[in-house]
Amino acid sequence: MTWTSYAVCLYMAFKARVDSKSIALLSIFSAMAAMLEIFPVVGITDLKLVPEVPSFTIDWTGIPIFLIFLGFGLIGAFFSIAIVGVAIGYRNPIGALFKVLAESLTIIGALIGWLICRKAKITGYRRIIVYLIPAILLRAIGMYFGNIFLLQFFYSVPYEFALLQSTILVPWNAIQAIINLVAGGFFYYAIPSNLRVEAGIAGDEETDIVQELTDEEIES
């Protein structure tokens, strides 16, 4: 893949969809992600599984965010992350920063997987497997260093304590990335391709196919 091809792929990834249907659907999915943070259900949508770090929870917020990434691209995903950040930030600004960083790293990792799939021409649900590897690595490693810095900066904890907390959370951040991508991908690909196109949540695969069809083929 040439640099020109990479530039085209990045343009497609960053291209925002501004038609009314896309904006409405994006708003709905973003609201779903925000509601998971505003009204968490402890034990169902908010799981406290790390007693050493009680502030850390496994949640489902990243599932609609990744679904948005698949259907609306990078700009849509970051819009949704920003909405989630606001939903958390009004009551816990520091917690919102941690969440925004974690979800952003996951989506950037998925973007790397997306570029790999474009180059290797991998299609369908098999893409999720490719998305997983960079998403897991980027979230786990990125939050390892991010937690060390942010814990010391905002809470003035000793370096050793921040290091221990960050180390404990590495596998849990990896698990959260897996939940986001596997569940989000399952819900996305559970929708038939033609319905995704009709509903306006088709990703680049369906868009590429539709662009190659004639009007008669699209109608049929």
Q: What are the backbone dihedrals phi and psi of residue 135, each rounded to the nearest 5 degrees, phi first?
A: -65, -45
The confidence band for 214, taking pLDDT boundaries of 50, 70 and 90, is very low
Whole-number percent of the chain with pLDDT over 90: 67
Within-domain flag for 80 = yes
Within-domain flag for 60 = yes
How big is the chain by its Cα radius of gyration, in Å? 18
Q: Which domain range does residue 128 map to?
A: 17-42+56-219
Within-domain flag for 48 = no
Close Cβ partners of 167 (under 8 Å, ≥ 6 residues apart) = 144
Within-domain flag for 3 = no
Beta strands in the chain (DSSP E): 46-47, 58-59
pLDDT at 210 > cutoff 50 = no
pLDDT value of position 58: 97
Within-domain flag for 148 = yes
pLDDT at 115 > cutoff 60 = yes
pLDDT value of position 22: 82
Mean pLDDT, residues 212-216 taken together: 44
65-69, 85-89, 176-180, 187-191: range with lowest mean pLDDT? 187-191
pLDDT at 96 > cutoff 50 = yes
Q: pTM for the complete prediction?
A: 0.87
Provide the mean pLDDT of the chain: 87
Helices and strands, counts by H and E, the chain: 9, 2
pLDDT value of position 199: 72
pLDDT value of position 127: 93
Within-domain flag for 167 = yes
The confidence band for 206, taking pLDDT boundaries of 50, 70 and 90, is low
Total domain count, the chain:
1
CATH number at residue 188: 1.10.1760.20
Whole-number percent of the chain with pLDDT over 70: 83
Let me know how long the chain is: 220
Within-domain flag for 49 = no
pLDDT at 11 > cutoff 60 = no
Within-domain flag for 51 = no
pLDDT value of position 113: 95
Amino acid identity, position 15 = K
